[in-house]
Structure 1
Amino acid sequence: MHDNYVVGNVTSIDGLKISVLMNEQSNLESFHCDGVIYDGISIGSYIGIIRGSHKIICRVEKEFLQDKKNEPSVQEFSRDRFERYIEVSLVGDIYRGVFEFGIKRFPMIFNEAVLLTEDEIRSILQKGASNSSQKLSIGESVSNHIPVDLAWDKLFNTHIGIFGNTGSGKSNTLTKIYTELFAKENTEIVENFGGNSKFVIFDFNGEYIKDGVLHHGKNSVKLSTLSNKGEKLPLTSRVFWDIETLSILYSATEKTQRPFLKSAIKYYVDHVKHDITSETIIQGLGSSFYNIFKQNNNKEMLSLLHKSLDIIDFDTKATYYDKQGEAIDLSWLNALWHSQSNTYYTKEGVYLHSIETNEIVSKSEGFVYALRHTGAFNVIRRLTATEKLRVAVHSQLIYFLAYGKVNFEHINPLIQRIESRSDFIEKTIRLSEDQEDGGLLTVISFRHCNSEAKKMIPLLVAKQLYDEHKKKVSDASGIMKTVHLIIDEAHNILSSQSTREEESWKDYRLEVFEEIIKEGRKFGFYITLASQRPYDISPTIVSQLHNYFIHRLVNEQDLKMIANTVNTLDTISRNQIPTLAPGQCIITGTSFEMPLLIQVEKLSKEKSPTSESADLVKLLT
């Protein structure tokens, strides 16, 4: 029995470039020898070079012919005129049956080149998982059809990027690796992890909420801004009234709007109850009434008060009575602004620029009495969180305008965003007294959400998850809990090319995720990104990923992004990306010694995400 099947000899060693002269019968597709089947030589395949007791492992990068006669004037072709050469790169070394990556030694001239057995190729492909007892199946190698396993204990404690054009198999790969992980739930995950790992998926297209996909016990949250029938994300009052949360939800700018919003929250929110009480709202409206007519210096103030009164259904034209049964004079609420005189005036022609303070106080007290003893009070008691916020910021802006602390044009965009976004926030968020645990896996679907909700809610959830987890880990002696955030179609929220939002807010959004991906690993917080357009994603984020699953990409900008950020790709693997077939994937990164080209196993229809193309033939039946 032959120990090795010799196919050539080393003829040139130029640094890391090794040239091998192949034998005449070395170009077959497969070889049979002593009951052993060997695969033939092709670009991307592996061969061995015998040096003493070591077998140096190389990867084929180039194949070419050399003219032995070297007579360009002679055009005739003859078989014995040309010699077949291959150029290979060093990969590792097999010694005593054990494969090790890295350049241990160089071959020598005339060393024999040999074919590798299936077991030897398997040891190369499976090196990352061979020493681990925690394996999950992913597919098989494209060239050798050898099953490939991944060591999940070395993969899921890293940031992962999955990229590929539509139809390339990107969603199947994402689902496959996590389906295999959750299939181990009865042993490693539930029993050994003790419920200390949490997985959250941002599902922008509703692909993963179907029963049977990923995990049978997942918690699906189907958000909707189209109707009030959608599910809602639970937030505690403490979290909702946090200035960070509100700044995210309403895109408050850092230098002007955020300080204003913070002052409103500080004044109106009870920091024991973590809410704005009915009494605080009434006092705020009474103070607004007083400030408007005491300062009498801005035409926008009374309009802001009317917006608050509309929220609580207070009719400014109705007649209200005090405890003595006398009508309360609220005619000032219907005052008009005189531009030339810069003052409010009533319809009766009374100018309010020289009113005594006592009279203003009296009118204000009557207004407050009307608020407490009419139907408006019952409305105030039932106000939602966003309605309370709107009343609070209106009252705070009246105060700031009255005393010249802000410019209306700087704060008004924030007021408008609060009014416009409150509707989708009410439809997607509910306040809960306790922080609810979604279990092992939570899928948040944004399929029926508008574009604003798709940008704001994921950012809010990601930041809250990260901040809470970071605090827990910082208070502990080590990383005893992990959070895994999975973002499908990540370009929806991580785009650095978006022009639909203010530059300052886009910078803030990207900074949040860049901090998570830079620092998260130290706290056990990991991100998996999947996208068909890696170029749209911030280069900082893409470059900080540890492992990559790269499917077919054809756009030149996407390919440049991959080339510039993924430094573990070799030339051969990089050139293969535009021609990969559906399901084929190049795996590379810190958890892998070298790039692997595999065919990811196709999931069954019951376990596959709903991302397939339409079957036009079915439309005919």
Structure 2
Amino acid sequence: MEKDLQKDSIFKVGKVVSVEGRTVKIEVDKSKNSSHLLYNGEIIRNISVNSYIKITKGFNRIIGKVDGESIYEDSNFTDKDYTNEKKKIKRILIVKLLGFFTKRGFERGIKELPLINNECFLLDKKEFQDVHHFVGKTDLPLNIGTLTHEPNQNVEIGINELFASHIGIFGNTGSGKSYTLAKVYYELFMKFKNEEKFNKNAKFLLFDFNGEYESKYSIIEEKKVYNLNTRFARKKDKLIFHESDLLDKDLFSIIANATEKTQKPFVARTLEFYKKIVKSDDALEYFKNILRKRVKDVYKMADKIKAELLLDYFREILPPLYDEDNIEVDLANDVDFNNKYGEFVFDGKYLRSNPESIEDTLLYQHITQYEFSKDFISRIIHFLYLQLINDIFSNRAINEHISPVINKLKSFHKDIDAVIKVIDDLDEEDFWHDNFFCVINLHKTNTNIKKMIPLLVSQKLYSEHKKSNRKKEKSLNIIVDEAHNILSYISERESETWKDYRLETFEEIIKEGRKFGVFMTIASQRPSDISATIISQLHNFILHRLINNNDILAVERTVSYLDKVSFESLPILPTGTCIIAGQCLQIPIMVDISPIDKANEPDNKTIRLIENWK
């Protein structure tokens, strides 16, 4: 009892003098204005800004954090009361209430407010540890570092609370953002990589825009890396897609950059046309017969200009024909047009009057040589041309409105072919190659592919996961480093349709994914550029140094439970130090991230100029 009284007298800070909502003002005892206290041979840091304080109200222990402090001169003093000038000064702490202690330990929130004159104390060692205990009884700990202001206090976070959620890691370049991402997932993988159920049920996909995680040991050795490349014609990795993955009218319209009112309906008709023919008993012969019918229709036309345009489309579809000298032959060179009568003429016969002669023309005969291309995009381009021929005949389309979408797809074809391999729906190929962790390295791809691949892959895996995870045993974590590349709502390089579709896709994943065991981790230098909907859906935040005021405001609008001192610390955080806040913690904390093996670090070191110059 005597020991408890002694402890209370040493740990007592002062008393409550004001309560205004969550903000409490505490008058500090004049004997407690030193920087440190001595208790049982230990030096204890005295109360100051960023410290925790305990307010006792009966048997209740309410916990707050010191946001600021001020002093004022006591007007009610006499020379008899004070022996020196310092004793005239009253010190006032401004405290934000965080939570309270129960039988279960520390809990965040306000159950009841303190009263005026309630006594206030420093936290003892056990209470301090209880406040910083973030791992539930059914969870497992993940050690990520130490408290910045208490280096002896390790920080352990519950694995389920952290990873069964959407995570935002934000910080300017050089602040340690990518290192923290690597650290968090390194610790997770090292803890579970030998677990059979983990390998079976957990999948992690990382989009790497700068080639920071492509090395053999980065984060972890046991991974599949797709090094995509649109720059060089050497052997390249390719992502495997089934035909059905790409036969979505919205998705394919985005790939072809189709306009909303005219080109998108045309693309939709073409894809339905493709599905119909492919499902037939003899798809190739079906396609050829349509070509034959349309050749007959063209050679019966009286409009020479329109007919010549359609003949050009047939030339785009059919394979080239070469003569004995290996010179390409014009497929319509055996047919002339008589302007006087407005008819095509073949071998002296007017074709409208003698339609049976059309079957002897070179163009008609050459249709027998047609074969479907093994390349999916080339096949679709042929179908687009045939659909355009059909639409022109039925007056559903005007060439000037539709042909640009085909030309855009043709110009983009090379890039798509460099990174994607499309296989038949019946073929099976493992995207993960029996790994739980996959990295898609986009460093050597162009801007179009950088924006397209994350969208295509995420949508594909998300759709497959929803269908296959009805028992809710499996999880999929999509990790996007430098997320402003694909989640920005500000972009002048792309159409509004493309931008809207891209954002809507990822917004759906981040809003609905939790129900299906799909979670996102996004890391970015510019949180202010990222869609506000996406930021608002994040559950846990790891905040490194942020200097731009717009970025700080974007975080402040979202992380309502972050205290004033933490916000004001964001622009001056040292490299490797971060503020962690969210559902995985009872309170926001400032953490020094502990190191990982150099081999497992991301390849993002700043160049050392002196070593290269001197």
Q: Same fold (TM over 0.5)?
A: yes
| CA contact 1:295–1:403 (8 Å) conserved in 2 | no
Identify the match of residue 43 of structure 1 among 34, 45, 49: 49
Q: Which residue in 2 is equivalent to 1:118?
A: 125
Checking the alignment, whether the CA contact within 8 Å between 2:277 and 2:287 is kept in structure 1 is no
Q: Which amino acid is the alignment partner of residue 82 of structure 1? A: I
Alignment partners' CA distance in 1, 2:568 and 2:499? 33
**Among 554, 561, 567, the residue aligned to 1:568:** 561
- Residue in structure 1 matched with residue 292 of structure 2 by the alignment: 286
**Cα distance, 1:386 vs. partner?**
1.8
Q: Give 1:605 deviation, angstroms.
A: 2.1
Quote the offset at 1:448 in angstroms.
0.6
Residue 229 (structure 2) aligned to one of 221, 224, 227: 224
Residue in 2 that maps onto 1:266: 272
Indicate the SS of the match to 1:331.
Answer: coil
Q: Who is 2:430 aligned against?
A: 436
* 2:166 corresponds to 1:159: yes
The worse-fitting range, judged by mean Cα deviation, of 266-275 and 97-106 is 266-275
Contact 1:329–1:363 at 8 Å: present in 2 too? no
Going from structure 1 to structure 2, the CA distance change for 1:306 and 1:564 (only over 3 Å counts) comes to: same
CA contact (8 A) 1:22 1:86 kept: yes
Residues 274/384 of structure 1: CA separation in 2 closer, same or farther (3 Å cut): farther
Structure 1 residues 270 and 97: alpha-carbon distance in aligned structure 2, compared to 1, 3 A threshold: closer
- What is the one-letter code of the residue matched to 1:217? E
Equivalences for residues 150-549 of structure 1 within 5 A: 150-186=157-193, 190-193=195-198, 195-228=200-233, 229-269=235-275, 278-279=284-285, 282-295=288-301, 297=303, 299=305, 302-303=308-309, 305-306=311-312, 309=315, 313-315=319-321, 330-331=332-333, 355-356=351-352, 358-359=354-355, 362-363=358-359, 366-372=362-368, 377=370, 380=371, 383-432=374-423, 433-438=427-432, 439-473=435-469, 476=470, 478-549=471-542
Distance 1:598 1:310 in 2: 62
- Give the one of 571, 585, 598 matched to 1:578: 571
Work out whether 1:591 is the aligned partner of 2:584: yes
Post-superposition Cα deviations, 1:25-73, rounded to whole Å, max 9, x if no partner, equal 43444322113342222222101223444432221011111111399xx
Tell me, in whole angstroms, the C-alpha distance in 2 between the residues paired with 1:298 and 1:482: 61
Distance 1:329 1:416, change over 3 A: closer
Residues in 2 aligned to 1:78 and 1:300: alpha-carbon distance in whole angstroms: 101
Q: What is the deviation of 1:387?
A: 1.7
CA contact (8 A) 2:249 2:271 kept: yes
Match of 1:551 in 2: 544
Give the secondary structure class of the aligned counterpart of 2:71.
Answer: strand
DSSP-derived class of the 1:195 partner:
helix
Deviations 1:231-289 (A, max 9, x none): 00011233244445423422334443232123223323467679995545544543443
- Cα deviation, 1:51-110, whole Å, max 9, x if unaligned, reads 444432221011111111399xxxxx9323312121212222335793333334433433
**Partner residue in 1 for 2:81:** none
Q: Is 1:65 aligned with 2:67?
A: no
Runs of 5+ in structure 2 lacking a partner? 78-83
Distance change in 2, residues 1:299/1:488 (3 Å) = farther
Is 1:617 aligned to 2:613, yes or no? no
Matched residues in 2 for 1:455 and 1:546: separation? 25
Q: For residues 161 and 336 of structure 2, what CA distance do their matches in structure 1 show?
A: 69
Report the Cα distance in structure 2 between the residues aligned to 1:508 and 1:412, rounded to whole angstroms.
Answer: 23
* CA displacement, residues 330-368 of structure 1 (integer Å, 9 cap, x when unaligned): 3267879x9xx99798999x9x9x851643861576423
Matched residues in 2 for 1:318 and 1:334: separation? 23
**Could you say what the CA RMSD is over the residues aligned between the two structures, in angstroms?**
3.4
Give the drift of 1:459: 0.8
Deviation at 1:153, TM superposition (A): 0.7
For residue 84 of structure 1, the aligned residue among 80, 91, 98 is: 91
Give the Cα separation in 1 of the matches to 2:563 and 2:506: 28
SS in 1 for 2:211: coil
The answer to which of 238-247 and 487-496 deviates more is 238-247
Distance 1:573 1:619 in 2: 38
Displacement of 1:310 in angstroms is 5.5
Fraction of identical pairs, as percent: 34
Match of 2:105 in 1: 98
Alpha-carbon distance in 1 for matches of 2:74, 2:613: 62
Task: Map Cα deviations across residues 296-316 of structure 1 (whole Å, 9 max, x no partner).
Answer: 558476456546635755148
The answer to whether the Cα contact below 8 Å between 1:19 and 1:87 also exists between their aligned partners in 2 is yes
Alpha-carbon spacing, 1:269–1:555, altered in 2? closer, same or farther (3 Å): same
1:509 partner amino acid: R
Does the 8 Å CA contact 2:157/2:585 hold for their aligned counterparts?
no
**Residues 15, 454 of structure 1: alpha-carbon distance in 2 compared, 3 angstrom cutoff:** closer
- Is contact 1:285–1:305 with CA below 8 Å preserved after alignment? no
How far did 1:210 drift? 1.2
**In 2, Cα distance between equivalents of 1:275 and 1:518:** 42
Distance 1:618 1:344 in 2: 79
Structure 1 residues 411-463: Cα deviation after superposition (integer angstroms, max 9, x where no partner): 22311221111101111011232142403111001111101111111111111
Is the 8 Å Cα contact of residues 305 and 395 (structure 1) preserved in structure 2?
Answer: no
Q: Distance in 2 between matches of 1:600 and 1:171?
A: 12
Residue 108 and residue 381 in structure 1: after superposition, are their counterparts in 2 closer, same or farther (change >3 A)? Answer: closer
The structural deviation recorded for 1:558 is: 1.5
Q: Assess, with a 3 A threshold, how the Cα gap between structure 1 residues 43 and 312 changes in structure 2: closer, same or farther.
A: farther
Amino acid at match of 2:67: E
Gaps of 5+ in 1: 72-76, 321-326
CA distance in 2, matches of 1:269, 1:538: 35
- Distance of aligned partners of 1:335 and 1:357 in 2 relative to their CA distance in 1, 3 Å threshold: closer
The alpha-carbon deviation at position 522 of structure 1 amounts to 1.1
Distance 1:506 1:95 in 2: 49
Give how far 1:616 is off: 1.0
Question: Are the counterparts in 2 of residues 290 and 364 from structure 1 also a CA contact under 8 Å?
Answer: no
Select between 156-165 and 290-299 the one with higher mean Cα deviation. Answer: 290-299
Gap change, CA 1:54 and 1:85, over 3 Å in 2 = same
Any conservation in 1 of the 2:70–2:93 contact (CA below 8 Å)? yes
When residues 296 and 488 of structure 1 are mapped into structure 2, their CA distance, relative to the original with a 3 A threshold, is farther
